[in-house]
Amino acid sequence: MLAKVYVTLKPGVLDPQGKAVRSSLASLGFLGVEDVRLGKYVELRLAETDPGRARAEVERMCERLLANTVIESYRVEVS
């Protein structure tokens, strides 16, 4: 199974990397960008064949390692 994990900062959490990218884009002439928020994308190839068990396993991975749940949210897709 393939699991895709999208990790993003929760609303209200400052994103200095996003601000730096927004500033760089503006200096390159992309003036219409109002805000940038950066995150992480992780792909996991799993031996598990049951989608429910695979999702549960990946969610445990997110809770323990892949996301800092104090300041980040995550979304899991399994296929």
Look at residue 26 in the predicted model and tell me its pLDDT: 98
3-state secondary structure of 2: strand
CATH number of this structure's domain 2-78, picked from the four choices 1.10.3720.10, 3.10.20.90, 3.30.1280.10, 3.40.50.2000: 3.30.1280.10
In the block, which residue shows the tokens 């990946």?
Answer: 58
In the chain, where the domains are located: 2-78
Burial degree of 64 (CB within 10 A; 0-12, 13-18, 19+): exposed
Q: What residues have CB less than 8 Å from 48, skipping those under 6 apart?
A: 1, 54, 57
- 39-45: strand order across its sheet: 39-45, 2-9, 72-78
Look at residue 22 in the predicted model and tell me its pLDDT: 98
8-49 pLDDT, tens digit per residue, is 999 999 999 999 999 999 999 999 999 999 999 999 999 999
Look at residue 15 in the predicted model and tell me its pLDDT: 98
Is this prediction's pTM over 0.85?
Answer: yes
Q: How many CB atoms lie within 10 A of CB 72?
A: 16
